[in-house]
Amino acid sequence: MTELDELKNKFPDAVIEVKLQRERRLWAAVKRDRLLEICKYLKQDFDHLSCISGVDYADRFEVVYHLWSYSKKKLLSLKVPIPKDDPAIDSVTAIWKAADWHERETYDMFGVVFEKHPNLTRILLPEDFEGHPFRKDYKLKESPWFSGKSPEEGSL
């Protein structure tokens, strides 16, 4: 029985999809309301959280956790879809301390709120920055110092 089979058997109502990409490359999508329970279970084998990232799809956001198992030498990407009208998910900082800055970056860039995070503040952008620039609905503003003309055209 593979790790993905074990995950599906342990959480049949919470696992949305699983995929074995290669022998050591696993994918699973899970429901957000069961994330903490699933992560506590996975921590037994996947002892290293290497990255958390956000994805903005047309109909939803997704938070992706990249977990590494030193003992099994396998990578598991855990995907959690969340609705655009409620971009919140539980923080996993109590399970993996490395989640701290990754969650802050995802909050900063995508506006995903990590519930019960110990210090959910901006990490890359200034505190007074408005919006979340990795969202597809973020409106870019033209800088006053750039008019689009080259120096030869006399814009400087």
Reading across the β-sheet that carries 15-22, which strands appear in turn? 15-22, 25-30, 74-83, 60-69, 48-56
SS3 of residue 79 by DSSP:
strand
Q: Which residues are within 8 A (CB) of 16 and not within 5 positions of it... i.e. 6 or more apart?
A: 29, 30, 31, 81
Model pLDDT, residue 155: 47
At 38, list the tokens. Answer: 């699933």
How many separate domains does the chain show? 1
CATH number for the domain including 111? 3.30.460.80
pLDDT of amino acid 156: 45
CA dist 112 and 151 (Å) reads 40
Identify the domain containing residue 60 by its residue range. Answer: 3-153
pLDDT of residue 2: 87
In the block, residue with structure tokens 């301390």? 97
Q: Which H or E run includes 105?
A: helix 99-110
Residues 6+ apart with CB under 8 A from 135: 56, 110, 111
pLDDT (tens, 9 = 90+) of the chain, 156 residues, equals: 689 999 999 999 999 999 999 889 999 999 999 999 999 999 999 999 999 999 999 999 999 999 999 999 999 999 999 999 999 999 999 999 999 999 999 999 999 999 999 999 999 999 999 999 999 999 887 766 655 665 565 544
